[in-house]
Amino acid sequence: MATETDAIDGGTGTTSAIQRFDEWLDEDVSPRRALAVYAALGVFMLFLLLPVLYMILATFTNQSFLYSSALLPSLSSLTLANYVNVLSTGAFQQYFVNSTIIATATTALTLSVGTLAAYSLSRFDYPGRGSLLLAFLGTQMLPYVLILIPFFLLMYTLDLINSHLGIIIAHSVIALPLAIWLLKGYFDDIPESLDEAAKMDGCSQLDVLARVILPLSLPGLAVAGFYTFTISWNDFLLVSVLSQTGATRTLPYGLQLFQSQNQVAWHLVLTAATITMVPVIVLFAAVQQWVVKGLASGGMKGT
Amino acid sequence: MATNTSQGRSPRYSEEFKSLLSETWLGYALILPATILVAAIILYPTVRGIQMAFLEVSLLQPGEETFVGLENFAEMANDAVFRTALWQTVLLTALAVSLQYLLGMALAMVLKEKVPGMRFFRSVSMVTWVLPIIVMVILFRFMVQNGFGPANIVLGALGLETTYWFGDPEMAFPLIVLMHVWRNVPFYAIALMAAMNSIPETQYEAARLDGAGALQRFRHVTLPQISYVSMIMIVLHVIFTFNNFEIVYLSTGGGPLGNTEVLATYVYKTAFETYALGYAASMGVVMLVIMLTFTAVYVKLEDTD
């Protein structure tokens, strides 16, 4: 990075640290301003990330470290034993599989139903369109605890208690309104002239969706998919009501039971918690550029 | 669509009318699955919940319903736990959302700076927002656990009081606020940052030429142009915080001594632990009415601005 500086300095060969820092920065940022920015950034990152990093560190230690008054473990005491222990626990494996099945199926269902709905809202003109969108978004305002009581009785009547399907449907519906809104934002950005051109070539309305709209809104699908997967993967409340045995229990609910039974086994509780958060963090890393951009434009346009 | 005035009108109009009709039907057909799902799983239970607010129903015999009129609502007036929970919910929402907004604004102003590596920090700061709530709760409980929680080790080394802070009647509530803030600040920051970045630099130049200082530029250029995004973020998070069940239920369960009880947890317990479905539903209706009123008033105020 500092090689250009050397070239510029040529003869003297002594490039001060400040100068090199300045070279490294964008042209319109002064070193003093950049230092202030990094300092403020450091404070925020410490506040937001230190607890998470510390938890991850703790999962590589043993119980005796967690019950000592030391803040940092010695390097030689780090171990993978907790991961081996948790991952080989039958119940944990079962919950992991349940979570994966439920979150994946929820994402598939929400994206299919949501894409059709968003396409309808974005490209078709019919009475009630505006109020339908408002009604979908309005459901986000309803207190879950109010819905929960009749919802539980409804699912009981439909025999969907303690089944994967019941949880999948419930999670899909929770995620659907925002997924539709996100997708509609992306669809709206695609010029309608492309639709017209495709129709000239003999495409039907559904062909337009499959061949024009969907390929052009992959980032939108990724963001909506990530959002839906996370809603489902992270949910505790609905699963706690709908799941009654280990066969349908997901990780968050299992984790809650595990921590209340294992008040003292922090090394295992923290490890289980860390493994639980890994999939959503990996997914987030995969789509983060679109999430950040989507929040910046698509999500906030004021439809 | 039907505005063309070329030759061969009548067959053309009927054709267009037909295609318009089929478009309308296709539009409805495409949105039907989503509508059915939302109607069955959200709207029907909501309507049913509102109806239950006027009934006496037990979870043990959900078939036996007695109409009691406004009795459930009258009961709330004499229910000290309800009043405390209502007050604590409002306080939690007000504190959490204002702190989130202030800190989110501060973080946004840092994140919008163009220094190397910023894109990485923008993404990585969102991690707290992605975590499952149960993982956040476990993390915080671990940090403040009695004796060997890292927070207590630090406090102890400084010679300060240490305890399991979620069990402390004074500190449990601030900790709940802290969790709400920690979790959502990045979301505000990214949204506000995006709004700030979309303000053209020329407006700042113009303000500078008019002799406006940094503070004045913020007040007269930045603030007015992020007000729409601010409104969206505030409304979303007021609703989220007011209705949130998991953060309190999983961390303190409403205790100690009911000091962190909020409406969501109280409604849940009334329904699923004491089985009084009608009373629980009526409190849920009160929550709904408060949120509807808040949103309507806030959006109206923002509109007239």
B70 in any annotated domain: no
Mean pLDDT for B159-181 is 92
Give the up-direction half-sphere exposure of residue B148: CA atoms within 13 A in the CB hemisphere.
14
Task: For residue A65, give the chain B residue with the closest CA.
Answer: B148
Residue A245: left if φ>0, alpha if ψ -120 to 50, beta else—which one? beta
- The answer to whether residue A127 sits within a structural domain is yes
Classify residue B26: in a domain, yes or no: no
pLDDT confidence band for A9 (50 / 70 / 90): very low
Chain A, 272 to 291: residues with Cβ < 8 Å from chain B are 273-274, 276-277, 280-281, 284-285, 288-289, 291
B60 to chain A, minimum CA–CA distance in Å?
A: 11
For residue A103, the enclosing domain spans 91-300
B111: CB partners within 8 A, 6+ apart:
A41, B118, B121, B122, B125, B189, B190, B193
If we measure between CA atoms, which residue out of B221, B240, B219, B225 comes closest to residue B295? B240
Q: In 3D, which of A255, A161, A168 has the Cα closest to residue B250?
A: A255
Domain count, chain A: 1
**B256 prior amide bond cis, ω within 30:** yes
Q: Take residue B230 and report the two structure tokens written for it.
A: 């601010």
Tell me which H or E stretch contains B243: helix B227-243
Residue B264 has pLDDT above 60, yes or no: yes
> Average pLDDT, stretch A27-38?
83
Q: How confident is the model at residue A5 (pLDDT cuts 50, 70, 90)?
A: very low
A255·B134 Cβ contact <8 A:
yes
Query: Tokens 């060997």 identify what position?
Result: B148
A38 in contact with chain B, both atoms CB, cutoff 8 A: yes
pLDDT at A206 over 90: no
Cβ pair A48:B182 closer than 8 A: yes
Question: Does residue B151 belong to any structural domain of this protein?
Answer: yes
pLDDT digits (tens, 9 = 90+) for A258-268: 888 766 788 99
Is the CB of A120 less than 8 angstroms away from the CB of B24?
no
Could you tell me if residue A40 is inside a domain? no
What's the pLDDT band for B198 if we cut at 50, 70, 90? confident
Look at residue B73 in the predicted model and tell me its pLDDT.
93
Q: Is A300 on the interface with B (CB under 8 A)?
A: yes
pLDDT at position A15: 62
Query: CB of A53 within 8 Å of any CB in chain B?
Result: no
Complex prediction ipTM: 0.88
Can you give the pLDDT at residue B60?
82
Between CA B58 and CA B217 the distance in angstroms is 59
B126 contact residues in A (CB cutoff 8 A): 284, 288, 291-292
Reported confidence tier of residue B265, pLDDT bands at 50, 70, 90 = very high
Mean residue pLDDT of chain B comes to: 89
* HSE value, Cβ hemisphere, 13 Å, CA-based, for A219: 17
Return the pLDDT at A263. Answer: 64
Q: Say if CB A253 and CB A238 are below 8 A apart.
A: no
Tens of pLDDT, residues A52-89: 999 999 999 988 888 887 888 888 888 899 999 999 98
Confidence (pLDDT) at A59: 93
Asked if the structure places residue A176 within a domain, the reply is: yes
In a domain, residue B272? The reply is yes
A54 backbone dihedrals φ, ψ, rounded to 5° = -65, -40
Separation of alpha carbons B30 and B53, rounded Å: 35
d(Cα A269, Cα A255) in Å, to the nearest integer? Answer: 8
Contact residues for A106 (Cβ-Cβ < 8 A; gap 6+): A168, A171, A172, A175, A228, A229, A231, A232
**pTM to 2 decimal places:** 0.89
Q: Which residues of A touch B264 (CB under 8 A)?
A: 143-145
pLDDT cut 90: percent of chain B above it: 53
Angle B16-B21-B26 from CA coordinates, rounded to 5°:
125
pLDDT at A27: 66
B-facing residues of A in 237-256 (CB < 8 A) are 237, 241, 251-252, 255-256
**How far is C-alpha B119 from the geometric centre of its chain's CA atoms?**
26
The torsion angles phi and psi of B147, rounded to 5 degrees, stand at 85, -70
Looking at the domain assignment, is residue A66 inside a domain? no
- What's the pLDDT score for residue A256? 92
Closest chain B C-alpha to A14 CA, distance in angstroms: 24
Torsion region of A125: left, alpha or beta (phi above 0 gives left; psi -120 to 50 gives alpha): beta
Contacts of A116 in chain B (CB under 8 A): 30-31, 33-34
Do the Cβ atoms of B232 and A300 come within 8 Å? yes
pLDDT computed for residue A86 by the predictor: 92
pLDDT tens, position by position, B106-163: 999 999 888 888 888 888 888 999 999 999 999 999 999 887 888 888 888 888 888 8
Residues of chain B found within 8 Å of residue A126, distances taken between Cβ atoms: 23-24, 27-28
pLDDT tens sequence across A124-167 = 888 888 889 889 988 988 998 899 889 988 999 999 999 999 99
> Is A227 domain-assigned?
yes
Q: How many C-beta atoms lie closer than 10 Å to residue A247's C-beta?
A: 11
**Domain count of the fold of chain B:** 1
Q: Cα-Cα-Cα-Cα dihedral of A139, B303, B109, A296, to 10°?
A: 50
Mean pLDDT, range B59-87, rounded to an integer: 90
The answer to whether A182 and A294 are in contact (CB under 8 A) is yes
Whether A207 shows a pLDDT value over 90: the answer reads no
* pLDDT (mean) for B194-208: 88
CATH of the domain at B299: 1.10.3720.10
- Residue A51: inside a domain: no
Q: Is residue A277 part of a domain?
A: yes
Mean pLDDT of B176-201: 92
Q: Which whole-number Å values give the CA distances from A92 to A88, A242, A244, A253, in the listed order?
A: 8, 19, 16, 11
Q: What are phi and psi of B291, to 5 degrees?
A: -70, -40
Bridge partners of B276, per DSSP, are: B58
The residue segments making up the domain with residue B100 are: 79-304
Note the Cα A291 to chain centre separation in Å: 9
B231-259 burial: b if 16+ Cβ within 10 Å, else e: bbbbbbbbbbbbbbbbbbbbbbebbbebb
* Rounded mean pLDDT, A273-297: 85
Q: What is the predicted pLDDT for the residue at B131?
A: 94
Mean pLDDT score, A174-182: 93
pLDDT tens for residues B24-55?
A: 888 899 999 999 999 999 999 999 999 999 99
Q: How many CB pairs (< 8 A) connect A and B?
A: 279
State how far the Cα of B156 lies from the Cα of B169, in Å rounded to an integer. Answer: 20
Q: Would you state the pLDDT for residue A297?
A: 57
What gap in Å lies between CA A154 and CA B40, rounded to an integer? Answer: 9
* Sign of the torsion angle spanned by Cα atoms A212, A215, A220, A225: positive
B-chain residues within 8 Å CB-CB of A154? 40-41, 44-45, 48
Q: Are B126 and A288 within 8 A, CB to CB?
A: yes
Identify the DSSP state of B57. Answer: E
Average pLDDT over residues A5-18: 53
Whether residue A26 is predicted with pLDDT greater than 90 in this model: the reply is no
Q: Is residue A83 one of the residues assigned to a domain?
A: no
Please indicate whether residue B81 or residue B213 has the higher confidence score (pLDDT). B81
> Domain of A173: which CATH number?
1.10.3720.10
Phi and psi angles of residue B110, each rounded to the nearest 5 degrees, phi first? -75, -45
pLDDT at residue B303, as a whole number:
75
Which of A222, A219, A228, A248 lies closest to A109, judged by CA?
Answer: A228
